[in-house]
Each structure stands twice: as structure tokens, then as C-alpha cells.
Amino acid sequence: MGRIILFNKPFGVLSQFTDRGTPEARATLSDYINVPQVYPAGRLDRDSEGLLILTDDGALQARIASPRHKTPKTYLVQVEGEPDAESLDRLRAGVVLNDGPTRPAEARRIAPPRLWPRDPPVRFRKSVADSWLEIIITEGRNRQVRRMTAAVGYPTLRLVRWRIGAWELGDLAPGAWREVA
């Protein structure tokens, strides 16, 4: 097995080393990681935070990123509203999205986790409650968790990937990384 780097991707950072998308500069992995020949195993949306694994091992990269290997990915998700048992059951059964049904997920309400402040902060509205979920999926479609929570009526406000397989974010600060292999 090659090198494995755990990175806590901050909000607003692209999950790639270069930005060819827009004329204005956006933060990329190269702003945080100067390790040659490592590449992200999967992606994490620009507006999502948390664990991103980088490796120089192509087989490991494919195993983590490919949905056929069913690597579990755990997300801490702040949603608008307070999901009821029926909504959680729908997530657990799998939700039909515009690109087809998702695999069943593990989903449960949790107490607000102890996380770093997000920059910029999540919008706050006095008139609308929010709550936190832990959602575990074994695929990784584009913006899947966000689309799943929206499909059951609870839009995502903040999304933090906490774990991929056996690797966990732990006390890694936003923008920090550590090598584990």
C-alpha cells in the first residue's frame, strides 16, 4: 500500500489540485497540500467540509471511490427542520432521486456535534428549527446526501464527512492533514 493522507477539507475548497472552472481564483488542494503524486480518492463538494483521503495507490483510490466496493461514508448533516421517524425511514429505505433510487442508508438524529465554526457561518433563522443527522451511505453520487435530505423535505444546511471506511477525521483541524501510511 502506498501513501495515505487524511485531509480536513474546509468549506469553499475544490477537491482537486487545479481550478480550470472560472476566471476568478478558487481555493484548491494545492493551497493546502504540497505532496507530489497523491490524488483524491473520491470527491467532496466545494460547499461541503470534512474528510478527504488522498493517495498514490491507484487500487486503493478506486476501491474508496467506486460505488461497487460499497465503502461506507459517514456524514454529519445539519438540516433545516426536525425530521420525523417517517422521513428517517425513507432515508433508510433508499430515496428515489432524478438519477434513480439510492441504496438504503443508515440515518439517525444526533445531538449537535462539537465541530469547528464554519466560515462563512451557516445561515440562521429564528423561525425555522434545525437539527443534526448522521447519515451513512455506500455510494457517492454527485451531491447525494444533499439531494437525499431535500427529497424527504429537509434541506441540508451544513455537511461534514466524518468517516470513510476505517479512516476518521478525529481532531484534524480544517485545512490540516496527516499521513497515516
Catalytic residue numbers read: 45
End-to-end CA distance of the chain: 8
Please give the DSSP secondary-structure letter assigned to residue 30: G
DSSP code at position 148: H
| Nearest residue to 144 via CA among 134, 153, 135 | 135
Angle (deg, nearest 10), helices 85-93 and 144-151: 140
- List the helix and strand counts (H, then E) for the chain: 3, 11
